[in-house]
Amino acid sequence: MTPLLQVRNIEKRYGARIGCADVSFDLYPGEVLGIVGESGSGKSTLLNCLAGHLAPDQGEVIFDTRADGPRDVRQMPEAERRMLSRTDWAFVHQNPRDGLRMRVSAGGNVGERLMAVGARHYGDIRETAGEWLTKVEIDTARMDDRPSAFSGGMQQRLQIARNLVTGPRLVFMDEPTGGLDVSVQARLLDLLRGLVRRMGLSAIIVTHDLAVVRLLADRLMVMKSGHVVETGLTDQVLDDPQHAYTQLLVSSVLQV
């Protein structure tokens, strides 16, 4: 099987400081990879390099495109890369405001992605948008309201609907449960887990929350100071951590 994404020796520096370095991995279709580490460990920098939001100084990000097979995303013309990020990729931001258009209705936010990939029939777009709102547990009666009138949890669910409506093959998530209170987080995780399983999504999830990766990720990468210090099956890394930093991370989690 061809990996969906092959990452080779990604390095990003901010002047003399290392953002991330020597990062390589393969992601196969249907796999969910969790990237954990404390703030400043380079996990968000890495995610942004992979998703094309930041230009890495070195390395390759090879995506298995529908039309031409594996291609280095960094060598693609800008237009092609933008097309990819509208069609095959999705990016769920920690802050829904970064991923939503706050002045456009909830239905419009979802419909816009559909129109970006060529949908033109208003009735169909509205119907699909309505279906997706229901999937993410937003009452369709709220379809014409702006997200600014939504709670934080609803905004995040709307952002997820907007991202998944076009059936992306790869989803990047940056702290998707970050700004939410605990009960809302739990519901969002259930929802994400269901969607990931049902749609067979491939995803890369960056988080500092080990509970999130325990539930969602097949395997883990642990980052510290810009480098990957440990990788493995999620439950193995969490239950039998090998690296000093991972042991510290796991033992620092408060047990309720």
Partner 1 sequence: MIAVTDLGKSFTLHNQSSAVIPVLEGANFSVAQGECVALTGESGAGKSTVMRILYGNYLAQAGRVVINGLDITTATPREILALRREVLGYVSQFLRVVPRVPTLEVVAEPLLSLGVAEDVARARAEDLLARLRILERLWQSPHHIFGR
Q: Which residues bind partner 1 (CB under 8 A)?
A: 28, 31, 186-187, 189-190, 193, 197, 215, 218-219, 232-233, 235-236, 239-240, 242-244, 247-248, 251
Of 76 and 195, CB closest to partner 1 = 195
Of 86 and 214, CB closest to partner 1 = 214
Any idea what DSSP says for residue 151? -
In angstroms, what is the minimal distance from the CB of 29 to partner 1? 11
CB 9 within 8 Å of CB 58: yes
In angstroms, what is the minimal distance from the CB of 190 to partner 1? 6
Of 80 and 240, CB closest to partner 1 = 240
Of 104 and 215, CB closest to partner 1 = 215
CB 143 within 8 Å of CB 115: no
In angstroms, what is the minimal distance from the CB of 111 to partner 1? 28
The pair of structure tokens assigned to 228 is: 């990957």
Alpha-carbon distance of 253 to 256, in angstroms, equals 9
Neighbours of 229 (CB within 10 A): 18
Q: Which residues pair with 20 in a beta bridge?
A: 12
Neighbours of 67 (CB within 10 A): 5
Give the relative orientation of helices 122-135 and 106-116 as an angle to the nearest 10 degrees.
120
In angstroms, what is the minimal distance from the CB of 44 to partner 1? 23
CB 240 within 8 Å of CB 249: no
In angstroms, what is the minimal distance from the CB of 202 to partner 1? 12
Of 100 and 203, CB closest to partner 1 = 203
